[in-house]
Structure 1
Amino acid sequence: MIISSFPVSRLAKQFVSLSGLSLLVFLTITTAKAQEQQIHPQSTQYEWPADPAVKEKLEHWRDQKFGMIIHWGLYAVPGMIESWALCSEDWITRDSTSNYDDFKKWYWGLNKDFNPVKFNPDQWAQAAKDAGMRYLVFTTKHHDGFCMFDTKETDFKITNGPFASNPKANVAKYVFDAFRRQGFMIGAYFSKPDWHCPYYWWPMYATPDRNNNYDIRKHPWRWNKFKEYTYNQISELMHDYGSMDILWLDGGWVRPLETVTEEVKNWGANIPAWSQDINIPSIAKMAREAQPGLLIVDRTVHGPYENYQTPEQRVPDKQLDHPWESCITLGDSWGYVPSDKLKTPAKVIHQLIEVVAKGGSLLLGVGPKPDGTIDSPVVQRLAEIGSWLKANGAAIYNTRPIQGYQSGNVYFTQSNKGKEVYALALLAENSPVPATVEWSINTPPKGAKMKLLSTGANVKYVVKGEKVIVTIPPAVQKLKGYPALAFEFIVAAD
């Protein structure tokens, strides 16, 4: 995922305390600078899938609208940026006296400290359900190569360390099972690059950036071993971890050279002269034989294996006519960072409404603590979001975009059958509900009744020219801090 901020002093202290070194390493990365890197911007092209099973699954996914992406790995132990501190690029700065090799050894050595004895996937799944979420994407492996599942391809995994004897050591299995029990669609995040694997970052050479560090054209055997390694790990996930709905592939710089576009060249890292092709068609064939209808999200590599697009940490400027999701963090970071600044429930609800009105879904990022639980303030935020969705979810779930999707602070959706239209008015945070709400498009048919979803009661409205003016009931006006009002009216008869 895109790079996030983390406390520099905390990282320095962790490096000292966990490694026993007197060396201080400072990686000064700010959110603003990280956002400039545009690690995964939105693709500019889209190709609809041809497989009927994939198309059916895609439409079902488009009905869900709201999901949780969970980043959890070694980076949770010190509470720092996920994986990226390993990457040596010019936007990552270290103390001039630091030693890069020592830092990598320290970071990868965190596997000896990662012992989440309170690991509670049922808490995670319940928190997500309480938030009104309906699909999951879980990091089975991030760029650092540490596997959160019991792969046979490497010993660098959660089942080989202090947590190995725990009955729930095969973390991914228990996460997927917990969310399935709550009725979620299940997605496996998988990083195509693997910085720990010697077939990707060959130890004989330095590791200058996020790319593989040797010329594949000169060493095809080594790259073929990496392709085999990747294929086998994804095969394990597709065959051994139950029913899967989504294979969410991160690390879009690992791609065929002919697919490198100008937008990819502007990501902030060098583009090698060779192709980092891992044969996604072969992986997709295998995965879909095991999981018919599987959605594959090969991020930013437009074509038949990017079944929906994934703009990151932002909402597109305009409505899009194909499937997409905004992946956005609840705080400033993807993984767990102590005292992370969390978005307010109103902010998340406003983003969700805008995303859905523009035709997308919202994938909200949450990072569990190193002990295996989700922090209480996060759980509370999620519950407050869910409280609003419980009353107003009809305007979000099972909807599709409508041509006139915005009028001022009011956004519009329509049911996937095209019968109901919903108007969602965003309200200023911590302010009283206004006496009226108005918009100038999507006028209800003459004589149509309008319902306020949060109460289920009909509301009065008038049409003056092109303007619709809705009167808000006095009891609702007394509410403070209510994030948005949702109205429903019928535009098509049964």
Structure 2
Amino acid sequence: MSATLKTKAFFFSSILLSSAFFSQAHNVSDGYLKPTDPLVIQNLENWQDLKFGLFMHWGTYSQWGVVESWSICPEDESWTQRKPEHGKSYYDYVKNYENLQTTFNPRQCNPQKWADAAKKAGMKYVVFTTKHHDGFAMFDTQQSDYKITSSKTPFSKNPKADVTREIFNTFRKDGFKIGAYFSKPDWHSDNYWWSYFPPKDRNVNYDPKKYPERWNNFKNFTFNQLNEITSNYGKVDILWLDGGWVRPFHTIDPNVEWQRTIKVEQDIDMDKIGTMARKNQPGIIVVDRTVPGKWENYVTPEQAVPEQALSIPWESCITMGDSFSYVPNDNYKSSQKIIETLVKIISRGGNYLMNIAPGPNGDYDEIVYKRLSEIAGWMDKNQSAVFATRSIAPYHEGNFYYTQSKDGKTVNIFHLSDQSDYQSPSTLKFIIPENFKPKSLKVLGLSNKIHWKQNGNSIELNLPKERTQLKYSTVIQITQ
């Protein structure tokens, strides 16, 4: 992920941000341009139906159990905290970090196992880190030998060595939309972090205007890798570009703290990249994170959920644990917390991209499968209130959250609670959307007839004893 704010630690501990802070941090209030390509518009509409996706950060860094890429960035030592045993000096550390390529051998990698668990939990698209900021390619690029399929990497001898291909093919076969995460900055490339100068921060370490040939080489390198991903890996639905500091200098928003650290022009020529991607993959959604304009087709709050509904397409990317990368004994969120987060996101019109990180052995922690199984049990009963829905006022009222079917004939009301262990109350009273005229009402997961009455714009219902079997939430579905 991109450390888009110096207060990244705050994101790990907080799930709600004020809409004003959210707008400032993620550039959602200004500059959004609705796509005009009919294929992109349709793909974006279909993507908004999916609601729940799987994000996977995975690379050689999983062997050390450290944060993805960031520990090699000089400006981020304070929160990544390099361990002395991994290198006493910065340069020793980077050398040893890059040497992780020579021991990376995740033999338990089984994308079908991941896809089966994710599909049962209701996830409908996947975004995989084909390359993070450290530059290690998890696909068979021909532009660099710093890749999982290199003879330097032990896993290259495995039939599943091109894990991007294995993941995309497996998940696509199971009906998932396919997303390719790709880092625009590449800290391994000598054309980005030129070895002639020491790196100072996350940005290019030379002035591209003074060394245009070197920057042009980097632009070509990036273009060629993205051409490979969008040409050689079957149908790709989303190109998810991270590293928003690689951007035209004139797009910098001085009101956003982290953007003020960008001191030089880093125009990567997104028009050329985006046009190529659309030629290779007609209708592909392009997400040039935090760079408002025609190549940011949806916005991506990180470890955060806006407090209010947004009128533009958006997706919260949030970790199941505390970290985007694999960390031993990570603190995984409870299934109730995950479901509460999903409900809050969809009630405000967004998608939930939940990150799960495979470990160095190539598999998830066992607790991950337990969480996904628990979510699957809830999703079996309540999926009609989740998928292919849209937001509807009042969106959120007390402990009640609202969605509606796309035809407007059905409204879904989710009741959550602040308790760590949800218990459905015997009586619920809530308001209904304006001008909605209820004719029938049911509680998803309960077979008993529900007694309810309407008084003006509110409904009161009594729940039977079998309400005790409801886990995580009570979901009421009203049809007019």
Q: Normalized against structure 1, the TM-score is what?
A: 0.89
Matched residue SS, 2:157: coil
- Out of 110, 130, 154, which is 1:162 matched to? 154
Gaps of 5+ in 1: 5-28
Q: Partners of 1:446 and 1:299 in 2: how far apart? A: 41
Question: Which aligned runs of 4 or more in structure 1 are off by greater than 4 angstroms?
Answer: 33-40, 93-97, 443-447
Q: Structure 1 residues 95, 345: closer, same or farther in 2, change over 3 A?
A: closer
Matched residue SS, 2:181: strand
Q: What amino acid does structure 2 have at the position aligned with 1:75?
A: Y
Partner residue of 1:437?
Answer: 428
Q: Partners of 1:149 and 1:370 in 2: how far apart? A: 17
- Out of 400, 405, 410, which is 1:415 matched to? 405
1:119 aligned onto 2:109: yes
Q: What amino acid does structure 2 have at the position aligned with 1:345?
A: S
Q: Partners of 1:79 and 1:298 in 2: how far apart? A: 28
Q: How far did 1:230 drift?
A: 0.2
Q: Structure 1 residues 263, 71: closer, same or farther in 2, change over 3 A?
A: farther
Q: Structure 1 residues 452, 226: closer, same or farther in 2, change over 3 A?
A: same
Matched residue SS, 1:386: helix
1:448 aligned onto 2:426: no
Matched residue SS, 1:133: coil
Q: Partners of 2:416 and 2:55 in 1: how far apart? A: 25
Q: Partners of 2:390 and 2:330 in 1: how far apart? A: 34
- Out of 124, 127, 140, which is 1:150 matched to? 140
Partner residue of 1:47?
Answer: 33
Q: How far did 1:350 drift?
A: 0.6
Partner residue of 1:223?
Answer: 215
Task: After superposition, give the CA deviation of every residue in 1:439-471 in whole Å (9 maximum; x if it has no partner).
Answer: 123279566110112235542212234432121
Q: Structure 1 residues 166, 343: closer, same or farther in 2, change over 3 A?
A: same
How many residue pairs get aligned? The number is 463
**More displaced 10-residue stretch of structure 1: 425-434 or 154-163:** 425-434
For the 8 Å contact 1:460–1:470, the answer to whether it is kept is: yes
- State how 1:282-321 maps to structure 2 within 5 Å: 282-321=272-311
- State how 1:14-413 maps to structure 2 within 5 Å: 31-32=9-10, 41-45=26-30, 46-89=32-75, 92=78, 98-160=88-150, 161-264=153-256, 266-267=257-258, 270-272=261-263, 274-413=264-403
Task: After superposition, give the CA deviation of every residue in 1:281-316 in whole Å (9 maximum; x if it has no partner).
Answer: 111111111111000000011111111010110100
Q: Partners of 2:316 and 2:11 in 1: how far apart? A: 20
Q: Partners of 1:123 and 1:293 in 2: how far apart? A: 29
**More displaced 10-residue stretch of structure 1: 203-212 or 467-476:** 467-476
Matched residue SS, 1:267: helix
Matched residue SS, 2:141: coil
Q: Partners of 2:224 and 2:164 in 1: how far apart? A: 16
Q: Partners of 2:99 and 2:3 in 1: how far apart? A: 22
Q: How far did 1:71 drift?
A: 0.3
For the 8 Å contact 2:393–2:433, the answer to whether it is kept is: no
**More displaced 10-residue stretch of structure 1: 251-260 or 382-391:** 382-391
Q: Partners of 1:68 and 1:33 in 2: how far apart? A: 19
Task: After superposition, give the CA deviation of every residue in 1:165-211 in whole Å (9 maximum; x if it has no partner).
Answer: 11111110000011012100000000000000100000111011000
Q: How far did 1:244 drift?
A: 0.6
For the 8 Å contact 2:451–2:462, the answer to whether it is kept is: yes
For the 8 Å contact 1:2–1:35, the answer to whether it is kept is: no
For the 8 Å contact 2:252–2:260, the answer to whether it is kept is: no
Q: Partners of 2:62 and 2:213 in 1: how far apart? A: 35
Q: Partners of 1:450 and 1:35 in 2: how far apart? A: 38
Q: Structure 1 residues 413, 352: closer, same or farther in 2, change over 3 A?
A: same
Task: After superposition, give the CA deviation of every residue in 1:345-365 in whole Å (9 maximum; x if it has no partner).
Answer: 110101101100101000001
Q: What amino acid does structure 1 have at the position aligned with 2:38?
A: P
Q: Partners of 2:265 and 2:466 in 1: how far apart? A: 63
1:425 aligned onto 2:415: yes
Q: Structure 1 residues 233, 35: closer, same or farther in 2, change over 3 A?
A: farther
Q: How far did 1:333 drift?
A: 0.3
Matched residue SS, 2:26: coil
Q: Partners of 1:62 and 1:488 in 2: how far apart? A: 20
Q: What amino acid does structure 2 have at the position aligned with 1:260?
A: I
Partner residue of 1:21?
Answer: none
Q: Partners of 1:354 and 1:447 in 2: how far apart? A: 23
Q: What amino acid does structure 1 have at the position aligned with 2:115?
A: A
Partner residue of 2:17?
Answer: none
Q: Partners of 2:184 and 2:270 in 1: how far apart? A: 10
Q: Partners of 2:402 and 2:45 in 1: how far apart? A: 20
**More displaced 10-residue stretch of structure 1: 381-390 or 311-320:** 381-390
**More displaced 10-residue stretch of structure 1: 110-119 or 142-151:** 110-119
Q: Partners of 1:268 and 1:256 in 2: how far apart? A: 12
Q: Partners of 2:461 and 2:361 in 1: how far apart? A: 49
- Out of 462, 467, 492, which is 2:458 matched to? 467
For the 8 Å contact 2:11–2:303, the answer to whether it is kept is: no
Q: Partners of 1:409 and 1:390 in 2: how far apart? A: 22
Partner residue of 1:8?
Answer: none
Q: What amino acid does structure 2 have at the position aligned with 1:67?
A: G
Matched residue SS, 2:412: strand
Q: Partners of 1:292 and 1:56 in 2: how far apart? A: 11
Q: Normalized against structure 2, the TM-score is what?
A: 0.92
Q: Structure 1 residues 257, 86: closer, same or farther in 2, change over 3 A?
A: same
For the 8 Å contact 1:356–1:396, the answer to whether it is kept is: yes
Q: Partners of 1:472 and 1:444 in 2: how far apart? A: 25
Matched residue SS, 1:397: coil
